[in-house]
């Protein structure tokens, strides 16, 4: 069953790449409009609500025949959206800011993780309790990502100088191994994804320090669309956002069902117990001030300001240069 689904997904991806058109106008089964959602990474627990929405028919109820495709980093996902190789993307908001600043025709339709998952992760036996305990430690990070760029400012906010902590450059795919093998004392990463994976692989408890808990919050992952697609078919985007909001709301009420849906429909997903923990950690990051993906101007201004001051975001402008609030705030 999964093998058949894989063939269908791969065929769809190849067709999209060949035509350069992810916003396919052809109708799917029953007259639904075909659309693709490319994730920020290979499937992990945060993505379970999308698979749940597909299985429960929330997207079909909005007239959308949705295919979910794995990603290879937020930057690559946003590039696919910009080039119309996928209809929608799921990507990290700081990466979106940089992409818009570079001239890509994309906009956020809302960040779903309002409390950013950026963190420093380490094994519990390191006895790190506060940022001050990082003094003298070695921390692995990946040059070019938002965590790496803002880490020195986060240290400063918490009374540490950059030289108090030794930063080791590690490829994104190698960070978990570097920690597990003791090459570094800690790593920068998204705690809700990596911590359960590390614990599953090593059998050791992982503790974290969230940037957001210590003075620096960057909005997390959210929906991304091409500005021309929004202009040509705003109704599709509204229906897609509406189905996504329902998927996230209902998945939060039925975590076991969401994990089961992802286990059935996704490919190369983590074990069910890891998925469950990843989803459990992700859901509280949504916030409680409205429907999933409904953000405030102040939240976006904070992220824009931090990226401008510490991550070389040039000529930042107002939040609406990056984010269209109207889609998630629909009635």
pLDDT in tens, 242-269: 999 999 999 999 999 999 999 999 999 9
Is 173 or 244 the better-scoring residue by pLDDT?
244
Distance between the two ends of the chain, CA-based, in angstroms? 38
**111 in the same domain as 122:** no
pLDDT of residue 210: 98
pLDDT of 11 over the 80 cut: no
Is 185 or 30 the better-scoring residue by pLDDT?
185
**227 in the same domain as 131:** no
Last residue of a domain, one of 193, 214, 235: 214
Its domain, for residue 52, covers 2-115+219-321
Q: What is the pTM of this model?
A: 0.89
pLDDT of 21 over the 50 cut: no
Q: Please give the structure tokens belonging to residue 102.
A: 């570079």
Domain membership flag for residue 12: yes
**268 in the same domain as 185:** no
Helical H segments across 203-291, by residue range: 227-232, 234-253, 255-265, 272-282
CATH number at 171 reads: 3.40.190.10
Q: How many Å apart are CA 88 and CA 144, to the nearest integer?
A: 24
**155 in the same domain as 105:** no
Considering the chain, what is the average pLDDT of its residues?
A: 91
Give percent of the chain above pLDDT 70.
90
Last residue of a domain, one of 186, 214, 242: 214
Q: How many Å apart are CA 196 and CA 303, to the nearest integer?
A: 26
Domain membership flag for residue 330: no
pLDDT of residue 13: 41
Last residue of a domain, one of 181, 214, 247: 214
The set of residues, in sequence order, having a beta carbon less than 8 Å from that of 60 and lying 6+ positions away, is 30, 32
Domain membership flag for residue 328: no
pLDDT of 287 over the 90 cut: no
**229 in the same domain as 111:** yes
**107 in the same domain as 226:** yes
Q: How many Å apart are CA 138 and CA 148, to the nearest integer?
A: 14
pLDDT of 30 over the 70 cut: no
Domain membership flag for residue 331: no
**40 in the same domain as 91:** yes
Domain membership flag for residue 8: yes
pLDDT of residue 141: 96
pLDDT of residue 2: 43
Give percent of the chain above pLDDT 90.
86
**166 in the same domain as 64:** no
**207 in the same domain as 63:** no
Domain membership flag for residue 327: no
Domain membership flag for residue 35: yes
CA 258-264-270 angle, 5° bins: 75
- In terms of Cβ atoms closer than 10 Å to its own Cβ (0-12, 13-18, 19+), residue 237 is buried
Reported confidence tier of residue 201, pLDDT bands at 50, 70, 90: very high
Look at the chain and report how many structural domains it folds into. Answer: 2
**137 in the same domain as 53:** no
pLDDT of 53 over the 90 cut: yes
Q: Are 123 and 208 in contact (CB under 8 A)?
A: no
Of 19-28, 67-76, 108-117, 191-200, least confident by mean pLDDT is: 19-28
Reported confidence tier of residue 26, pLDDT bands at 50, 70, 90: low
Domain membership flag for residue 207: yes
**181 in the same domain as 125:** yes
**186 in the same domain as 67:** no
Closest CA to 153 of 82, 214, 234, 238: 214
């Amino acid at each position: 069953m999964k093998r058949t689904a894989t063939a269908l997904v791969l065929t769809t991806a190849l067709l999209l790449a060949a035509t350069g058109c992810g916003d396919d106008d052809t109708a799917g089964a029953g007259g639904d409009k075909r659309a693709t959602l490319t994730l920020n990474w290979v499937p992990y627990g945060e993505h379970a609500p999308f698979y749940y929405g597909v299985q429960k028919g929330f997207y079909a109820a909005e007239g959308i025949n949705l295919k979910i495709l794995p990603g290879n980093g937020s930057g690559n996902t946003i590039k696919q959206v910009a080039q119309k190789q996928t209809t929608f993307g799921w990507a990290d908001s700081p990466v979106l800011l940089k992409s818009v600043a570079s001239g890509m025709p994309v906009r956020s339709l809302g960040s779903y993780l309002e409390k950013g998952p950026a963190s420093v992760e380490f094994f519990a036996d390191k006895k790190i309790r506060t940022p001050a305990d990082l003094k003298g430690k070695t921390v692995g990070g990946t040059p070019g990502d938002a965590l790496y760029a803002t880490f020195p400012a986060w240290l400063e906010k918490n009374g540490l100088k950059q030289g108090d902590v030794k930063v080791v450059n590690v490829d994104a795919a190698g960070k978990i191994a570097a920690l597990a093998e003791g090459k570094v004392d800690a790593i920068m990463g998204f705690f809700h994804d990596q911590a359960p994976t590390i614990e599953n692989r090593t059998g050791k408890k992982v503790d974290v320090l969230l940037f957001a808990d210590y003075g620096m919050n960057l909005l997390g992952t959210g929906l991304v669309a091409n500005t021309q697609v929004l202009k040509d078919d705003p109704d599709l985007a509204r229906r897609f956002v509406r189905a996504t909001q329902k998927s996230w709301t209902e998945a939060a009420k039925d975590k076991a069902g969401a994990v089961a849906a992802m286990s059935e429909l996704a490919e190369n997903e983590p074990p069910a117990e890891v998925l469950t923990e990843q989803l459990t950690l992700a859901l509280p990051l949504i916030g409680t001030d409205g429907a999933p993906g409904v953000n405030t101007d102040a939240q976006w201004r904070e992220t824009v300001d931090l990226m401008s001051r510490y991550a070389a975001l040039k000529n930042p402008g107002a939040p609406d240069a990056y984010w269209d609030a109207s889609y998630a705030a629909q009635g």
